[in-house]
């Protein structure tokens, strides 16, 4: 098992080292301080309540791997921002545990971080470290600040421009983990596309809260749904997530052996393969849950196969 864990660790390290930031011809090396190991975060039986009576969620279990772009979705007020703040260590779990590996983390909050109104766009993006000007300008260009726009003072920027600048600043800090809360909220189409483009080129791990279906489609590799106090993680893209929801409750679902079963079977087979790979080297504390899911999926798959042969 140690051998497996080591192999996965070094494979991820390689991926981590080889994938430079690429957006609109821009390359930015990742140089965060994370050691090897597949998991960035692991939650078991996690529960949170602000007042000790009303629980936003309980018994939540999830893990975050380095290659993940995890989308957190759910209705207003269900606790998405709260969950991000738990991951960031700004809040402590009320019950259960949440481990987050030491990593360089950047947070783009729902309420915009304070940008210094006395700075120009370029000064604010470059920061005191003043990284390569061409690199900064290139990212700013990707985020629609071209030519003289970089000389504008922050104080005159529109909200959309401030969001794009805050994102540039965040990306230029080369984090390992990027935590974003509704980054495209209130942006017009060109700005949204620019933000999508910049995020797509980011090589690190992303945890993203969003209602923006385009962004979710383009970015998410896993989907976490927080609803009615329960947190569930779907191990696939947003499109696959929507498909699986549709299949779970289709109107006038065809009988056993119909096309819906064929799709369901494919999904289950895929999940079974993922689970058996995960069980090779299960994240700490996850083995039992994975085994249980493995059994449940095998059982459902067997019943579908039997029905189709009947
Ligand atoms: N500091 C706080 N103290 C007490 N209650 C809080 C605090 N922060 C948030 N809440 C409450 O907790 C609940 C979840 O808030 P949170 O901001 O996490 O939801 P959200 O899913 O991000 O919502 P939205 O989609 O509107 O951004 C809400 O009912 C909110 O009023
Ligand atoms: Mg929120």
Whole-number pLDDT of residue 237: 93
Domain boundary among 234, 259, 276: 234
Specify the higher pLDDT residue, 305 or 216: 216
179: Cβ contacts below 8 Å, ≥ 6 apart? 84, 87, 88, 105, 106, 107, 108, 206, 207, 208
State residue 242's pLDDT score. Answer: 92
Res. 131 pLDDT band, cuts 50 70 90: low
Is residue 190 located within the same domain as residue 284?
no
Say whether both 87 and 20 belong to one domain: yes
Q: Which residue has the higher pLDDT, 22 or 248?
A: 248
| Last-in-domain residue among 179, 208, 234 | 234
| Nearby residues of 64 by Cβ (< 8 Å), 6 or more positions away | 39, 40, 41, 42, 70, 87, 205, 207
Q: Whose CA is nearest to atom 26 of ligand 1?
A: 76
Treating both helix axes as pointing N-terminal to C-terminal, what angle do 259-280 and 238-248 enclose, rounded to 10 degrees? 130
Q: At which of 201, 234, 267 does a domain end?
A: 234
pLDDT, greater one: 30 or 140: 140
The pLDDT, as a whole number, for residue 275 is 83
- The pLDDT confidence band at residue 246, using thresholds 50, 70 and 90, is confident
Considering the domain boundaries, does residue 242 fall inside one? no
> What are 230's two structure tokens?
């329960």
Give the residue, out of 74, 80, 87, with the most ligand 1 atoms within 8 A of its beta carbon, to mutate for a pocket test.
Answer: 80
**72 in any annotated domain:** yes
Answer whether 36's CB lies under 8 Å from 12's CB. yes
For atom 10 of ligand 1, which residue has the closest CA?
50
pLDDT at position 11 is: 42
What's residue 185's pLDDT?
86
> Does residue 94 share a domain with residue 167?
yes
The answer, yes or no, to whether residue 20 has pLDDT greater than 80, is: no
Q: Measuring from atom 30 of ligand 1, which residue has the nearest CA? A: 77
Q: How confident is the model at residue 21 (pLDDT cuts 50, 70, 90)?
A: very low
| Cα 76 to middle of ligand 1, angstroms | 8
Q: How confident is the model at residue 208 (pLDDT cuts 50, 70, 90)?
A: very high
> Is 39 found in the same domain as 122?
yes
In a domain, 239, yes or no: no
Does 178 share its domain with 230? Answer: yes
Would you say residue 195 lies in a domain?
yes
Q: Determine the average pLDDT of the residues in 1-18.
A: 45
The ligand minimizing its distance to the Cα of 83 is 1
Mutational pocket test of ligand 1: of 54, 79, 92, the residue with most ligand atoms within 8 Å of the beta carbon: 79
Q: Domain tally for the chain?
A: 2
Is there a single domain that holds both residue 145 and residue 285?
no
Question: Greater confidence, 6 or 189?
Answer: 189
In a domain, residue 179? The reply is yes
Mean pLDDT over all residues of the chain? 81
Express each pLDDT in 252-266 by its tens digit. Answer: 544 455 556 777 777
| Predicted local distance difference test score (pLDDT) of residue 31 | 37
pLDDT > 90? residue 70 = yes
C-alpha dihedral sign at 186, 191, 196, 201: negative
Regarding whether 175 and 289 lie in a shared domain, the answer is no
Q: Does a structural domain hold residue 39?
A: yes
C-alpha of residue 67 to centroid of ligand 2, in Å: 24
Same domain, 182 and 273: no
Residues in CB range of 178: below 8 A, 6 or more apart: 105, 106, 108, 170, 171, 199, 202, 204, 205, 206, 207
Q: Are residues 141 and 261 in the same domain?
A: no
241 within domain boundaries: no
> Do 14 and 91 share a domain, yes or no?
yes
Q: Are residues 293 and 185 in the same domain?
A: no
| Residue-range definition of the domain harbouring residue 288 | 250-309
Who has greater pLDDT, 293 or 80?
A: 80
Q: Are residues 276 and 148 in the same domain?
A: no
Question: In the predicted model, what is the mean pLDDT of residues 2-12?
Answer: 48
| The overall pTM is greater than 0.85 | no
Pocket of ligand 1 (CB under 6 A): 50, 56, 74, 76-82, 110
- 243 lies in some domain: no
Burial of 116 (0-12, 13-18, 19+ CB in 10 A): exposed
User: pLDDT band for position 26 (50/70/90)?
Assistant: very low
Name the pLDDT band for 133 (thresholds 50, 70, 90): confident
Residues 139-156, mean pLDDT to the nearest whole number: 90
Predicted local confidence at residue 287, as pLDDT: 86
* CATH number where 147 lies: 3.40.50.300
């Amino acid at each position: 098992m140690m051998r497996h864990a080591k192999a996965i660790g070094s494979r991820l390290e390689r991926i981590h080292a080889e994938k430079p930031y690429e957006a609109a011809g821009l390359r930015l090396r990742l140089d965060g301080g994370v050691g090897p190991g597949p998991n960035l975060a692991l939650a078991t039986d996690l529960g949170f309540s602000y007042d000790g009576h009303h629980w936003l969620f309980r018994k939540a279990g999830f893990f975050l791997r380095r290659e993940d772009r995890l989308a957190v979705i759910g209705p207003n007020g269900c606790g998405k921002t709260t969950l991000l703040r738990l991951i960031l260590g700004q809040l402590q779990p009320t019950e259960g545990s949440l481990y987050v590996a030491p990593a360089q983390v950047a947070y783009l909050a729902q309420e915009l971080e304070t940008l210094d109104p006395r700075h120009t766009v370029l000064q604010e993006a470059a920061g005191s470290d003043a990284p390569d000007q061409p690199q900064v300008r290139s990212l700013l260009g990707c985020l629609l600040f071209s030519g003289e726009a970089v000389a504008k003072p922050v104080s005159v920027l529109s909200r959309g421009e401030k969001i794009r600048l805050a994102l540039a600043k965040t990306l230029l800090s080369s984090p390992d983990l990027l935590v974003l809360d509704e980054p495209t909220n209130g942006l017009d189409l060109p700005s949204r596309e620019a933000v999508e483009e910049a995020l797509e080129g980011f090589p690190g791990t992303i945890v993203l809260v969003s209602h923006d279906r385009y962004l979710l489609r383009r970015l998410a590799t896993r989907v976490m749904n927080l609803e009615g106090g329960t947190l569930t993680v779907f191990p696939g893209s947003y499109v696959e997530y929507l498909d699986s929801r549709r299949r779970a409750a289709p109107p006038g679902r065809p009988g056993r052996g119909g096309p819906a079963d064929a799709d369901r079977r494919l999904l289950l087979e895929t999940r079974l393969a993922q689970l058996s790979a995960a069980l090779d080297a299960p994240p700490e504390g996850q083995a039992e849950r994975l085994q249980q899911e493995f059994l449940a999926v095998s059982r459902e798959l067997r019943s579908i196969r039997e029905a189709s042969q009947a």
